[in-house]
Amino acid sequence: MKQIIKYLLALIFISITFSSIAETTTEHKPTIIALSPHIVEMLYDIGAGEQIIGTTAFADYPEQAKNIPVIGNYLRLQIEKVITLQPDYIIAWKSGNPSDDLARLKQLGFTIIYSQPNSFEDIAKEMREFGVLTGHQNQAEQQATQLIKALELIKAQYHDKAAITVFYELWSRPLTTIAKGSWPQQFLNICQAKNPFEQANTPYPQVNIEKILLTPIQIIIQPLSFNQEGSQKEKEAFNWQDWPVISAVKNKQIIQPDADAMHRMTMRSLGELKNLCASIDDTRQWLQQNNEQ
Amino acid sequence: MNKLLLTLMALLLLVLISALAGLNFGPADLSYSQVFQCLTGNCADQISQMVVWQVRIPRVLVALVAGMGLAIAGAILQNTTRNPLADPYLFGIVSGAGLGATIANLSLESIGLGDQLNIALPLAAFLGALFAITIVIFIAKVLQQMEQLLLAGVAVSFMLGSVTQFILYFGDPFATNRVIFWLMGSLSRVEMNNFYVIASVLMVTIVAIIALHRQIDALLLGDESAASLGVNVDQLRLLMLGLCAALSATIVAYCGGIGFVGLMIPHIIRQVIGVTTLKLVMGSALIGGSFLIWVDIIARSALADAEIPIGIITSALGSIFFLFIMIRTRNTH
């Protein structure tokens, strides 16, 4: 009996010691202000979501992110709130946050780390960096490796597929598409989808419907934000049914991926890449079977 | 004590109250006593010290001098051109600053000097604004009609605006966002150095106005009458325009586009204090400074999670003010 009590006491002592060590470790995890939805998602992906103490508007994924205090938007940051929160690090989106506010925060002594993923490989690279920064190296490494492996698989699956002409509708009013240098263009490249506007002078060119009518578009890709109400989504999308002469419309080949998942540079976008390539491939096969152009 | 002195003292009191209010409003939850302790050098903690001395004080001071500067520039331009619609921004100053900011944004990013934007952007905006005003003056000189200044300003404004939009369309979309939002105006980025620069230009302008206020008053009687009183009309108008341009360009460079202040405030002062230059300038400075402090208070406190660009608020108030003037004029007639 004495022996059992001794073991129990030892067990209690060990568990208390470990839990206090764990608590101490948690206390030392740096606090972070993440200044864009994609940074918030990335931090949750590597297990550092609980360390985020402030973010910007529209950081709505995963569900827990909706509870993080908002300290500004893409236009302005509330510098006073940042000072009050006293984060160890501010992770900012280099091209998507107000540079003057960031310069001011740097001047006030805050450490700013920049995120600027331009490719899927960059997402993996940044996840590893954020892992080191937040003390979640293992999970970050695991996620990054998983991302690269999944990406290689998708690339291998579609690299020798026949090219198919698509129109990517980024915005409906004015009708705007994508070109080289834009984030979604790599989706099209990987899925072997040919973008007739790829060589435009600007990454997000506005296009005339006449030009689209003259191009044999086989698929229309129309990303929609699924966070919005159904009626809102429909209002914002271009009404392609008015143009039945376009072969994609005639053949009902309009794909509507999740815009948030696709346009945010995170693990989710890889899932959306997989879905998009599969949808494009379905159309490719359908066209081959029906001998359509 | 005469009425003017009493009015000016009341306006001074308004400036003081506005400044104190400006120090007490903000997203950081600081009590009056905490702010007061910080002002007397006994801050309770480092966070309050930082909020009060590095954020709120520079903002209030820059709002004060920027509001004063824009209102004075508007008042002087309206008196020297005898045009009630004259406003520093109608001379293409914001469009010029926008073009400068666009070029700085895109060129520095493309050569990898994006980190230098904080210094380069105000400088480029200032040069752009001066460029715009130089073209306006040149056109007016060529036409040999200084009263055409406003029309020339509107034309130059559209021209530079279209060049800016053309460049932005082919540039990085994020740079486009930065420029567009920068032009909406904000005091969130300001620091004490900005206050010193704006205050210096403001002082020079005020001294020049005080020295020349009688000549400017003579212009109110018409160019011929002023000339017969010995005033070199074109030279005086050019000097005042140059000073107002430099003052407005400096403010735009640090605060972005803050419209309508220069237009609204002098109109109010004419009703309350008087039309002669000295009264108008003193009144405009005090009301303009207080007005911008309150606008900035709204900008940083109205929304819980974000700031409203200051130019949006001044334009909204300005448009309401215009409608009010229109209705009042119609009723009077």
Which backbone phi and psi does A219 adopt, to 5 degrees? -140, 140
Which chain A residues are within 8 Å of B50, Cβ to Cβ?
A: 83, 108
As a 3-state breakdown, chain A gives helix, strand, coil percent values, each rounded to 5, of: 50, 10, 35
This model of the complex carries an ipTM of 0.71
Question: What are B5's strand-pairing partners?
Answer: none
Which chain A residues are within 8 Å of B38, Cβ to Cβ?
A: none
- Number of Cα atoms under 13 Å in the Cβ half of residue A101: 32
Question: CA nearest A237: which of A250, A246, A224?
Answer: A224
Give how far Cα B20 sits from Cα of A79, A193, B52, B69, Å.
Answer: 20, 61, 11, 20
Pairwise CA distance, residues B97 & B92, whole Å: 8
Q: Do A57 and B173 touch (CB under 8 A)?
A: no
Tokens 């009518």 appear where?
A: A213
Give the strands of the sheet with A32-34, arranged side by side.
A52-55, A32-34, A89-93, A112-115
Nearest CA in chain B to A54: B305
pLDDT tens track of chain A, all 293 residues? 566 566 655 555 555 444 444 444 455 789 999 999 999 999 999 999 999 999 998 888 899 999 999 998 877 889 999 999 999 999 999 888 888 888 889 989 999 999 999 999 999 999 999 999 999 999 999 999 999 999 999 999 999 999 999 999 998 878 889 999 899 999 999 999 999 999 998 888 888 888 888 899 999 999 987 665 544 455 568 889 888 989 999 999 999 999 888 988 999 999 999 999 999 999 999 998 887 55
Tokens of B94: 């914001």
Pairwise CA distance, residues B38 & B18, whole Å: 18
Direct distance between the N- and C-terminal alpha carbons of chain A, in angstroms, rounded to an integer: 84
Which chain A residues are within 8 Å of B305, Cβ to Cβ?
A: 57, 69-73, 78
Q: Provide the number of CB pairs (under 8 Å) joining chain A to chain B.
A: 89
Which backbone phi and psi does A224 adopt, to 5 degrees? -125, 145
Q: Do A83 and B50 touch (CB under 8 A)?
A: yes
Residues of A with a Cβ under 8 Å from any B Cβ are 57, 69-81, 83-84, 86, 94-96, 98-101, 103-104, 107-108, 201-204
What is the set of domains in chain A, with CATH numbers? 30-149 (3.40.50.1980), 159-290 (3.40.50.1980)
Residue B189 binned pLDDT confidence (cut-offs 50, 70, 90): confident
Is B112 an 8 Å CB contact of chain A?
no
Can you give the pLDDT at residue A137?
95
Can you give the pLDDT at residue A9?
57
Our CA-based measurement puts residue A266 at a distance from the nearest CA of chain B, in whole angstroms, of 19
What is the set of domains in chain B, with CATH numbers? 30-332 (1.10.3470.10)
